[in-house]
Amino acid sequence: MDNPVVSIVIPVYNGSNYLRDAIDSALAQTYPHCEVIVVNDGSSDGGATAAIAGSYGGKIRYFAKDNGGVATAVNLGVRNMRGEYFSWLSHDDAYYPDKIGKQVAALRSSPDRTAIVHSNLDYVFARNNKIVPMDYLRYERLESLTNGNYAAIFFRIHGCSVLVHKSHFDRVGLYDESKLTTQDSWFLFHAMRGRRSLFVPDRLLMARIHDQQGQKVMTRHEVEYNEMLIDFCRMTGEEEMVRLCGSVLQFYYKMYALHRFKRTSSAILAHVRERLRLLTPAVNPIAGFARLRALLSRRGGPAFASRKICIFGAGMTGKRIRDFLQGMFVRVDCFLDNDPDLIGAAVEGLPCRSVADLSGRNDEWLAVMAIADSADPLAQLRAAGLECVVPMEEMVELMAAVVPPGVFGGMEEMAGDSGEMGEIVGRIMR
């Protein structure tokens, strides 16, 4: 592997608002062996998109076609690319300058030069230019992120963060042109399946969130999204689930936990709940309650059952922990966060407070961390006199091993004729 050419393909439809940023970022790559291909998917903006692309002259390769959907535009780019590797860049996103260089460097150090490479990214909200870093290693082990199509199934990968060897298109085909909004997830599901990928922990992509994104304006997206997830479950065999998640049960529970908070996930949630119900004979909820009780007791002291519970971090991990605890019939009283936009607001129906609000009330509260890099938050809690803290690592480890009975239904249904579970729940709640 010397200096392979990388083809950066930018599909665009009516993209005059952000296209120039995308092209500039592609041309600014520190890795010198790149070609930039722009495919205009039949834009109807009076020539504005075409004019922007045309202003770059010979710096880019430009193709125009009738409108057919983003997958048709990407596929046209793939068919015409001269590079050995492919990188998709949406017209409303942008690469950081070392995106391609760092991913090619990762391939150079790998025995598999065809491994798919992916990375962390920054989300940028167009309405206020707020940047939200996405560090997948805060939520997953590296082993999981690079294990087959785990990242594709559980949405731990962004379609524009990848670097793909051209051989994968020969092996699994191009992007499915019948999928209007999920074509990238489908491609990665097939291309990564049964193979080891490479993960670069740097944030190499800026993904913009705005109101005109295809997934937001296309009414078909919710149906297509749920159909895809159900198909992922049906197409993944039990042995494969074990390789990805350790057990069939954990595969389905992880799917449940990931989509529990999404308003557009009703169909996949119904499917997953039904699968979990069929697996309930393998669940030992009594043991799960006992493990949770032991953790809270160890970190909260003898009087843990009388303490209120707060979760430090009102992001995705905090919401997952809240959902887990509620599924175990443990009440969570509030979130804590340092984001001034969240403090004083309601997050998933719970108040979000500042650490200062709890200052000096160590006898009342037990804090559960939902932030991986917790050195500064822990220092904040200690400075406020709050010493009873459950580390995120311990809670996440418990969540990986225990399926909350609350996932399946009411406590009476789970307890049956035995009062043992109710007794343990009562002890935890008291």
Show the domains of the chain with their CATH numbers: 6-215 (3.90.550.10), 223-282 (no CATH), 285-429 (3.40.50.720)
Task: Calculate the average pLDDT of the chain.
Answer: 87
pLDDT at 281 over 60: no
What pLDDT does 409 receive?
47
More confident residue, 147 or 245: 147
Residue 265's pLDDT is: 81
Residue ranges of alpha helices (H) inside 146-220 are 150-153, 167-172, 183-192, 214-217
How far apart are the C-alpha atoms of 93 and 10, rounded to whole Å?
Answer: 10
Average pLDDT over residues 86-100: 98
Confidence of residue 305 (pLDDT cuts 50, 70, 90): confident
Q: What is the pLDDT of residues 165-216, one digit of tens each?
A: 999 999 999 999 999 999 999 999 999 999 999 999 999 999 999 877 654 4
Q: Rounded mean pLDDT of 37-58?
A: 97
pLDDT at 407: 58
Cα angle at 127 between 121 and 8, to 5 degrees? 40
- How many other CB atoms are found less than 10 A from the CB of residue 216? 11
**Helix intervals (H) in 280-315:** 285-300
Q: Can you tell me the distance from the alpha carbon of 118 to that of 85, in angstroms, rounded to the nearest whole number?
A: 13
Q: Is the pLDDT higher at 408 or at 227?
A: 227
* Structure confidence by residue, pLDDT tens digits, 10-47: 999 999 999 999 999 999 999 999 999 999 999 999 99
pLDDT at 247 over 70: yes
User: Residue 21 has what pLDDT?
Assistant: 97
Task: Give the range among 131-135, 254-258, 410-414 with minimum mean pLDDT.
Answer: 410-414
> 35 forms bridges with which residues in the sheet?
7
Res 317: pLDDT: 84
* Beta pairing, strands 164-165 & 365-369: unpaired
Query: Residue type at 274?
Result: E
Q: In this predicted structure, what is the pLDDT of residue 288?
A: 73
Closest CA to 14 of 48, 63, 39: 48
- Closest Cα to residue 121, out of 162, 63, 66, 85? 162
Q: Which of 1-15, 109-123, 142-156, 321-335 has the lowest mean pLDDT?
A: 321-335
* Non-local CB neighbours of 120 within 8 Å, separated by 6+ positions: 133, 134, 135, 136, 137, 161, 200, 201, 202, 203, 204
Tell whether the torsion through CA atoms of 162, 166, 171 and 172 is positive or negative. Answer: positive
Decide: 191 and 118 in contact? Cβ < 8 Å: no
